[in-house]
Structure 1
Amino acid sequence: MTSPHTPPTGSPDPEPTPDPIRHEFIAAGSIDANIQNLRGTITVRAEHGTRVGVELIPRGEAGAQLATRMRVRFDAERLTVDAPADEAHRVGVGLGDLFSVRGRGGSLPFTDRLAESFRSAVRGVEGLLGGLEIRVVLPAGSRVVVSDGVGDLEITGSLARLEARTGTGDLHVRNAAEESTRLTTGTGDVTLGEATGQVHATTGTGDLRLDRLEGTATLSAGVGGVTVREARSGSLTARSGLGDVELRVAAGTAVHLDLATGLGEQDVRLTPADGAGAAERTLEVHARSGKGDLRVLRAGAAAAAS
């Protein structure tokens, strides 16, 4: 009789899970970091203290081989995590069309050709086997650049500056950096918690959501919706080539609206009584959609309107 924990006779042994590779450093304070991955998730956590940690977690044999070839360096308060150049070239070829619109199918609308280009590029990298998860811990207040070929990015903690980009994958950022935040994905969703500084977020195809705005934000989606759940003050520019734009304005905030849609409806549910006095918060909004609706309402009325 075969034990339920014993592989049947003649069956191949399960592939062993590759061991993670860990690097630990001590910083004097906030640092500069440049982190690159090719296929797999990247998680960056900023926390109080002086610890700098990098953990490479392979997925599959190909991921294990990639992990051993990654270059991790920490020198002069600068952290660098580099992928090997030849592997980067392979992924780059698969994603070469991701940030350009192909000339073929010229009779199709721009947004349709854009979506077709994204789908084709994603199919081109689906055959890449194995992956590598990268987890980074660094001091709060650091300045970080993160780039990935195929994979999701997740950023938490307080940073001074952040630039994050992935060819295909979702971006999740708990809070925008204090000074500036720039987020880019070719295909995938972008979610951002609170924005108080300058924010630029772009997705080629996917939805873009900002939970709370008290700064300056430019949000662009080629094919997908743009949502701001609570705008309190500052300036917002929101664009979608094909998708809806929805803005929920906090109570006590006066708004100047500049709206335009090529094919869609405008639904503004604000009244003069909703406005704010001279001493209250103000918000300037420029919203555009090529094909989609534009909706503006008070944040407190969101549940009733939905």
Structure 2
Amino acid sequence: MNTEDYNEPRRATDVAATQQFPAAAPISAVLDIPAGQIRILAGERTDVIVEVRPADTGKDRDRQAARQATVGFADNVLGIQVVSTTRIPGPSGSVQITVQLPAGSRIVVTAASAELATAGALDEVTFDGALGVIGIERATVVRVSTASGDVAVGRLDGNAHISTGRGDIRIDEARRGQLVLRTQEGSVSVGAAAGVTATLDAGTTLGRIHNALTGTGEVVGLTIHATTARGDITARTLTEARR
């Protein structure tokens, strides 16, 4: 991400920095970090608050990474970038980033190694990284590609394409759309919303397939394509909607 695309990007001057921007509508947030933990809190609000701090204040590399974080906001796009410039031998520094933003916003995360946790309703969530543990409370569309890490989604209102080399994939409630779920080593579990007619196309080399989908409507609202080399695949229809 080129921070020149953003008006007056600001760099943290201390090990922990908080910045606030006005936002009257859902935004797009683009984050590019080498390593760290990211928390996205979506709610009914008219501003964006960003906090960046080192993952471990006792580590020089983490403090330097936090100071190198650049945050900018323009044209309804929030950009957060952490460039690894440390001269300390070893891995890049790790940061903790918390973003509070309007519900319905779009999130794009690129990271070598990161944990992503979201709360509240989001539009699209995209994650691309070598290592990532992903927890999404609610989203319309989810796209995740990671070499290793578990992926959990509470409520999914649309399509999903989730791929992890090693890790479990779980969607508690899927309401409609096409789901493509792939893991080489791990289990896959999907709950279809009550009243939704769903189909399952599944394959596992070492594991079992449990199909407990009971929707009987003429129009299929949810299609599930799930594969794993080692692990079980479970799909079931929920008896009542999740809150």
Q: CA RMSD in A?
A: 2.9
Give the drift of 1:164.
Answer: 2.0
Deviation of residue 205 (structure 1)?
0.8
How many residue pairs align between the two structures? 221
What per-residue deviation string (whole Å, max 9, x for no partner) do you get for residues 128-187 of structure 1? 2642111111122222212222221112222222212332131111112x3x22122221
Higher helix proportion, which one? 1
CA distance in 1, matches of 2:237, 2:158: 23
1:53 to 49, 55, 71: 49
Which one has the bigger strand percentage? 2
Instruction: List alignment gaps of at least 5 residues for structure 1.
Output: 1-17, 91-124, 233-249, 301-306
Choose the corresponding residue for 2:157, options 196, 207, 230: 196
Q: Verify: 1:227 aligned to 2:185, yes or no.
A: no
Give the corresponding residue for 1:207: 168
Instruction: Specify every segment of 5 or more residues in structure 2 that has no aligned partner in the other structure, as ranges.
Output: 1-13
In 2, the alpha carbon distance for the partners of 1:73 and 1:297 equals 43
Task: Give the distance between the partners of 1:173 and 1:140, measured in 2 at CA.
Answer: 13
What secondary structure is seen at the aligned counterpart in 2 of 1:141? coil
Query: 1:282, CA displacement in angstroms?
Result: 5.9
CA contact (8 A) 1:62 1:130 kept: yes
* 1:21-60 → structure 2 map (5 Å cutoff): 21-58=17-54, 59=56, 60=59
Pair 227,53 (structure 1): closer, same or farther in 2 beyond 3 Å: same
Query: Which SS does the other structure have where 1:138 is aligned?
Result: strand
Amino acid at match of 2:113: V
Give the percent of matched residue pairs that are identical in Structure 1 and Structure 2. 30
Following superposition, the deviation at residue 263 of structure 1 comes to: 4.6
Instruction: Assess if the C-alpha contact under 8 Å between 2:186 and 2:230 holds in 1.
Output: no
The alpha-carbon distance between structure 1 residues 282 and 20, as it changes in their structure 2 partners (threshold 3 A), is closer
Distance 2:45 2:119 in 1: 15
Residue 66 and residue 231 in structure 1: after superposition, are their counterparts in 2 closer, same or farther (change >3 A)? same
Normalized against structure 1, the TM-score is what? Answer: 0.62
Which residue type is aligned with residue 188 of structure 2?
V
* Alignment partner of 1:172 is 2:135: yes
